[in-house]
């Protein structure tokens, strides 16, 4: 990974132009920290108005597919993205283990070990029970430890204990880390496989993917030559391009919407 990505205005303008000229463009985007600022209460996250406007315009542009690709469950992603019944925006939840596409029912695979998931989630909640500012998020295929508001030292101790728990009881589960989050899942799909699935499904010849966290690097690394990868904010990245924050990405998406519509 490189900590440096191309950030010149000319480079970004060239990338937008390349995406705008695609035969079929797939715009696949992380949500938290990418379209919406990070917040202390995760379910209160909402897309920036400028980003929402740009995505609505892009979703109605010819030969253009817009998708949100998130570690959130499909249910939670639909809620925080404020999905309308007639939405044209595809959703990939649980890092690509769950999909919803416009005009169709939610697509769930049913091989989750519910009893093991529930047992480990309950034991993780016992570990964090006395830790202020930490909490366990229930997920369809596992659980996540959030420590954004917790004491750093105590959070590290809780994470170590939960690591040991899952390593012992579910060694085949996938472990992911992010900004103040430690997540475990029985499913091994990632945002890279989610983007590949979306690309194949819609027949896109160019993909623009943007994300702000460690789990987004899988998707960024999987992009083909000619695709556009954008890292939002700081951190090491394999992306060709970087923007400062969600507001800057919203501006870029607005420009892309204008270019894609020929405005």
Distances (CA, A) of 124 to 88, 129, 136, 143, 158: 37, 8, 7, 9, 9
Which residue has 């009881």 as its token pair?
169
Query: What's the pTM?
Result: 0.81
Which residue has 């590949």 as its token pair?
196
Buried b (16+ CB within 10 A) or exposed e, 95-125: bbbbbbbeeeeeeeeeebeeeebeebbebbe
Q: Tokens in use for 75?
A: 């249910």
Among residues 236, 222, 241, 263, the alpha carbon closest in space to that of 14 is found at 241
Taking only the tens place, the pLDDT of each residue in 224-255 is 999 999 999 999 999 999 999 999 999 999 99
Question: How many whole angstroms separate alpha carbon 144 and alpha carbon 22?
Answer: 37
Q: Which helix (H) or strand (E) holds 193?
A: helix 191-202
Taking only the tens place, the pLDDT of each residue in 154-196 is 999 999 999 999 999 999 999 999 889 999 999 889 999 999 9
Residue-level pLDDT at 113: 78
Distances (CA, A) of 156 to 107, 109, 162: 36, 33, 10
Question: How many whole angstroms separate alpha carbon 190 and alpha carbon 216?
Answer: 9
Averaged pLDDT for residues 19-47: 95
Question: How many whole angstroms separate alpha carbon 100 and alpha carbon 126?
Answer: 33
The chain-wide mean pLDDT, for the chain, equals 91
Contact partners, residue 57, CB within 8 Å, separation at least 6: 254, 257, 261
Q: How many CA atoms lie within 13 A of 96 on its CB side?
A: 19
How many other C-beta atoms are found inside a 10 Å radius of the C-beta of residue 225?
4
How many other C-beta atoms are found inside a 10 Å radius of the C-beta of residue 6?
14
Contact present, 100 and 91 (Cβ < 8 Å): yes
Taking only the tens place, the pLDDT of each residue in 43-80 is 999 999 999 999 999 999 999 999 999 999 999 999 99
Taking only the tens place, the pLDDT of each residue in 110-137 is 456 789 999 999 999 999 998 999 999 9
Question: How many whole angstroms separate alpha carbon 44 and alpha carbon 260?
Answer: 31
Q: Tokens in use for 257?
A: 């919407």
């Amino acid at each position: 990974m490189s900590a440096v990505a191309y950030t010149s205005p000319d480079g970004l303008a060239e990338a937008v132009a390349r995406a705008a000229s695609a035969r079929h463009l797939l715009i696949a985007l992380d949500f938290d920290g990418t379209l919406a600022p990070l917040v202390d209460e995760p379910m209160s996250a909402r897309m920036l108005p400028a980003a929402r406007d740009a995505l609505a315009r892009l979703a109605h542009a010819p030969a253009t597919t817009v998708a949100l690709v998130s570690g959130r469950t499909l249910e939670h992603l639909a809620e925080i993205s404020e999905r309308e019944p007639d939405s044209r925006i595809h959703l990939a939840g649980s890092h690509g283990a769950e999909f919803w596409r416009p005009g169709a029912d939610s697509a769930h695979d049913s091989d989750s070990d519910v009893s093991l998931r529930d047992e480990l989630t309950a034991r993780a909640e016992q570990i964090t029970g006395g830790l202020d500012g930490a909490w366990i998020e229930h997920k369809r295929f596992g659980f996540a430890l959030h420590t954004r508001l917790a004491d750093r030292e105590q959070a590290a101790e809780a994470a170590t204990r939960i690591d040991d728990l899952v390593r012992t009881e579910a060694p085949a589960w996938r472990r992911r880390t992010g900004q103040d989050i430690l997540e475990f899942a029985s499913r091994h799909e990632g945002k890279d496989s989610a983007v590949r699935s979306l690309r194949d499904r819609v027949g896109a010849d160019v993909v623009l993917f943007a994300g702000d966290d460690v789990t987004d690097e899988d998707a960024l690394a999987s992009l083909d030559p000619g695709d556009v990868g954008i890292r939002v904010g700081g951190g090491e990245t394999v992306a060709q391009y970087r923007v400062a924050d969600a507001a800057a990405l919203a501006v870029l998406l607005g420009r892309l919407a204008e270019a894609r519509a020929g405005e």
